[in-house]
A = this chain, B = another copy of it.
Amino acid sequence: MNIAVLGSGTIGKSWCALFLAAGHHVVAYDPDSAKKEGITDFIQASKSALRRLGYQSAGLIERFRFVQNPMDAVQGAELIQENAPERLGVKHQLFSEIEPYLDSQAVIHSSTSGITLEELQAGLSDIGRIIIAHPFNPPHLIPLVELFGNQETKPRVIESAREFYESLGKVPVELQKSVPGHIANRIQAVVWQEALHLAQEGVASLSDIDKAIANGPGLRWSIYGPNQLFSLAAGDRGLEGFIEHLGPSFQRWWSSAGRVEINSKTVDMVREQFKKDDKDISDMKIYRDQILVKILEAKIAMRDNGKPEEE
């Protein structure tokens, strides 16, 4: 497939690497010519991880082009993955530039995390051709893609998007209703809020709370979601049995969960309590991605061996 990737920051370059790895032809657009090197470096750096995950074409740079004009990127493309800065004006300007050059069947998948589909549609004439397809960082490794289309969306656009991301080995989840932050960012938000709340209350430092999550519930959430995990914990009656048994405890924890405001007090606490790791940020990202690959490899191997799957 011919794919145009518009905007080549953290998200855009990761999509480029993945689309190439899955055998597609990719044209990336960014107004900043310096981004070209950033993308090609990333394609190279992510090659071995993607090959380990079974992407035979990872690193096939000859299928990649970089352009500084969005019209050149979209012409002949069947799919446009849009990752422009998260400002509505910028995205509308981009849409007005590319729309006259789009193939009649071309669809736009926006990676936006914060702009609604209705707001995006307002910048196009043919509003049925755009959906939200929000990835999770780093997109070349994390399987989740959150999809959203509304009543204006053309038939089969969502279904084709689902098939497309599945063909990439991704796990698309379709939202039935627009909500700020989709699913995953909202879940992240409540976790962070309670972490900040517990630290503000003096229960533990932010670093210790991080340690508790990554060595406790976080380990299990990489395998199953909370409902599935809880359904394993209460015998034959599954999730309903769990609610009967532990509902009152959860009710108590919910009622004492905290609300946090982003203000100078919060920033001061973060400055005091979050022990900046003495490791390099890039080393930590490498560590994160190497463990991610190990987990994904383990899941793929168990699936291929006919062991129980996670979904």
A164 at the interface (CB under 8 A from B): no
Contact of A302 among B204, B230, B291 (CB under 8 A): B291
Q: A221-B218, A270-B239, A284-B308 are in contact. Are A146 and B212 (CB under 8 A)?
A: yes
**Contact yes or no, A204 B176, CB < 8 A:** yes
Once A186-B198, A194-B186 are accepted as A-B contacts, the answer to whether A232 and B287 lie under 8 Å apart by CB is: no
Residues of A233-292 contacting chain B, CB below 8 A:
233, 235-236, 238-240, 243, 247-254, 256-257, 259-262, 266-267, 270-271, 274, 276-277, 279-281, 283-288, 290-292
With contact pairs A231-B274, A271-B240, A294-B298 given, residues A187 and B193 touching in the complex (Cβ less than 8 Å)? no
Collect the chain B residues with CB atoms within 8 Å of residue A302's CB: 287, 290-291
Give the chain B neighbours of A274 by CB distance below 8 A: 227, 231, 238-239
Contacts of A254 in B (CB 8 A): 189-190, 193, 259-260
Residues of B contacting A45 in the complex (Cβ-Cβ under 8 angstroms) = none
Cβ-neighbour of A288 out of B144, B198, B207, B220 (below 8 A): B220
Query: Are A174 and B267 in contact, with the CB atoms below 8 A?
Result: no
Q: How far apart sit A204 and B307, CA to CA, in the bound complex (Å)? A: 27
Please report the C-alpha to C-alpha distance between residue A114 and residue B245 in the assembled complex, in whole angstroms. Answer: 13
Q: A243 to B214, Cβ gap below 8 A?
A: no
Chain B hits for A76, CB < 8 A: none
Tell whether A167 is near chain B: CB-to-CB under 8 Å.
no
Beta-carbon contact of A292 and B219 below 8 Å: yes
Query: Given the complex, which residues of B lie within 8 Å of A288, measured CB to CB?
Result: 220, 223-224, 229, 232
Asked whether, in the complex, the Cβ of B212 is within 8 Å of the Cβ of A225, the reply is yes
Chain A, interface residues (CB within 8 Å), range: 35 or more
A187 to B256 Cα, complex, angstroms = 12
Which of B179, B210, B257, B298 is in CB contact (< 8 Å) with A198?
A: B179
Instruction: Identify which of residues 43-58 in chain A touch chain B, using a CB-to-CB cut-off of 8 Å.
Output: none
| Least distance between A270 CB and chain B CB atoms (Å) | 5
Cβ of A160 within 8 Å of any chain B Cβ, yes or no, is no
Residues A70-120 near B (CB distance < 8 A): 113-114
CB distance from A144 to the nearest CB of B (A): 3
| Contact status A228-B284, CB under 8 Å | yes
Name the segment of A24-32, A33-41, A135-143 touching the other chain. A135-143
Q: Provided the pairs A221-B222, A287-B223 are in contact, do residues A262 and B247 lie with their beta carbons within 8 angstroms? A: yes
B217 adjacent to A249 (CB under 8 Å): no
Contacts of A204 in B (CB 8 A): 173-176, 183
Q: In the complex, what residues of B have CB within 8 A of residue A223's CB? A: 214, 218, 287-288, 291-292
**Besides A187-B194, A206-B227, A218-B225, 11 other A-B contacts (C-beta < 8 A):** A143-B215, A171-B215, A176-B203, A186-B256, A190-B194, A192-B230, A210-B226, A217-B221, A228-B284, A239-B270, A283-B307
